[in-house]
Chain A
Amino acid sequence: MSAVATPIKDHRALRFLTAGSVDDGKSTLIGRLLFDSRAILADQLDTLEKRAAGAPIDLSLLTDGLEAEREQGITIDVAYRYFATKQRKFIIADAPGHEQYTRNMVTAAAGSDAAVVLVDITKLDTHAIPLPLLPQTRRHALLAHLLRVPSIVFAVNKLDAVSDPAQAFEAVSTALREFAKQAGIEVAGIIPVSALRGDNVTQPLDATWYSGPSLLQLLESLPALQERKDGDLLIPVQYVSREGEGTGNQPRSLYGRVAHGRVKAGDTVQLFPSNQIATVAEVRLAGEVVDVVEAGQSAGVVLDRQLDVSRGDWIATPQTIHEAQRFSATLAWLDTEPAVVGRKYWVRHGNRWVQARIASIESRLDIHTLEAIEAHQLAVNEIGHVIIETQQPLPVESYESNRVGGSLIIVDPASNRTSGALLVKGAA
């Protein structure tokens, strides 16, 4: 094996989302990544060549999956794509950038390790000082930041179409850095590309004015989302199984993915909501008894005594769970029916479903600036600050400190649609 490989200790696939508006060249960029990394095969290429009828093939057609989308020439839903290099495996969540952008972007950003925000340089006046960015660029970056996507990358596209790429890229970079600083966004990289020609997507750019990595090189080096392995333990109980046949007093395994910390035999744990204390007798991973199970893995926990535990409960280090029945949160509303204050909804927190209501809507975020505007209603694709009341206490944590304890979904009890995503700020 080659010894020069980039030393990434964590080999998990990098999940990244791509955000851009119609015409930004996002589909072409993804097509380029798939094409250059040979994730596109001859028959798929064949289909494209037939469509092109002699003209250069349109790489964007590779990603427009549904018939309805091809008819309209737009992408209506998040699509997942896969490709790999020698260094890394990648999963792209392709979030379309038209009117349903918030819904799709929030979906794609939840659980992503990185966001690639496309900036179409041909739509900018690169000689203006200060250079105004497009609203969608700000919006896409701010949404990714709101969802705490760890790495945010700007891909400045269509460099092939400007007369002085060095000057144009420099001007746009300055504007992007200034905007990121104001918004508190840490930028993982600003990369000039031409998705159409393939410049600096997978092959480094041969230009005197740019010596940084290609987009692919940067993506290969980004870390996958890390759950905290040290400190206190938190496991949402997903599934309870009784070993063996019969209904006697067999030991029960409590299964759940470790949200943070690690668990091993001998640990003292506390259960929520019963507050009972027990000692871990055995831990399992994928059907085998093991010494320790860490954050990000699904543990099977056998306790030293029979306790009443069910799906939706939590296993934690004693005295570390703080429950709340009323908390403040950021709410991204995803349903075409507007949010109704006071109405009972279902919410899911960890593995527990409880009834809840929006006690009040405090403000709505201006999607272009993320500034709070006074508002008492939230419609589809809008984001606001709300106070939530739940029918039972929940062990919520702030989303910023822990995604598992800090995220909830809201489901409409009449339609069963997933109507909203809640990011917890704190008890209220």
Chain B
Amino acid sequence: MAETLFHKVWNRHAVRTLSSGQTQLFVGLHLVHEVTSPQAFDMLRQLGWRVAYPNRTFATVDHIVPTLARRRPFLDLMAEEMTTALERNCQEFGIQLWAPESREQGIVHIIGPELGLTQPGMTIACGDSHTSTHGAFGAIAFGIGTSQVRDVLASQCLALDPLKVRRIDVNGRLSEGVYAKDVILTIIRQLGVHGGVGYAYEYGGGAIDRMTVEERMTICNMSIEGGARAGYVNPDETTFAFLRGRPFAPSGESFERAVTWWRSMASDRNAPYDDRVAIDAGSIEPTVTWGINPGQSVGISERIPADGDEEALAFMGFAANAHVRGTRIDVAFIGSCTNGRLSDLEEAARVARGHHVAPHVKALVVPGSQGISRAAEARGLHQVFIDAGFEWRGAGCSMCLAMNTDRLEGREICASSSNRNFKGRQGSPTGRTLLMSPAMVAAAAIAGEVVDVRTMLEGVPA
């Protein structure tokens, strides 16, 4: 019988049906960071339990880690305490940790793929809702809470209900200046921020097929913003080529055997779906949010809807029927697990090269990992940004959620390549966030206001 990848992966990892009716699901890869794990380790200690599969859990620090002044001990005492707690926990329970000093440290959803830990056909869990990112490889990846982190540590399992699967075809071609970020913002706008509740999203169609794995990660990353706990793309040659040679990917003959298995886990051609949606890639414009959830967005040439949510408009200081284009910004943030990868920095640098950030704008580039940082520096991208007046920072989550000192002040308005424009998200209760692609953020930083990046890309070499 034809099946989706979701069902194949689910069935391969189902241990049994619990008496509650939930499925006990084996977790193939567990990723841990400093913010949602300390209480889980404490619970284990209190119960006197061990970690069941310590070699299937990997840890790093990303959420609270400073992006400036990274010498230990950190000046931020709480960052130091949380980092030290993770170091102690990983040592005690035998878990591999990439500490701030390590060359591999970075945002957990960026280093998993970078190191080849993330592979097709896996179940993956992490105490972070953007775990859906790993679905870009054809894995089923769930964000979980801290009690579930404890469960995975103790048993390598979760108690879950299966999801329905919605196939989302993005057909046709994206035009110049339109990116994966614009695609996922458009999908969320069309299906709603809770349209995906109860579903895993399977992304496909010509535009997704042509995307790099990095672009697919941007799409899958924001599945949760549409209410879908998991999102994935079927593995293909692009996926396999990305994985070849990565430190934790299989090598030699086992790589070839792996490809055979990975291919077999993809959705069958005539697999049944619970729902199907099609989107025309050619109709998507550079997209920006105007409100306080990621579904409240418009194409850059469009106006805010006449019936736009009043609470959102009041908070943001926008009027219905107005354009977001032309909005003066105070801060520009390029980074996050959504858009902090090398290709994101390349596209932003393409826009920034030879220009300068507007005098009133504070602009930050925060690479998603130290690996990306090194790769960008090898290409001279850091110098492009520095010459243009951007700050070039160390790797971490930074101003996406403002757990460290990178944050908005007062009612500042930020053009951001991150994933959430919730009230208070970027550290100031009254701070405002406009989500957009990294290239659009770079364009806004230079212009000092929200602009259509396509006007700045004319004649610029790829």
Q: Do A and B come from one complex?
A: no
**Residues of B participating in the A interface, judged by any CB pair closer than 8 Å:** none
Interface on A for B, CB 8 Å cutoff? none
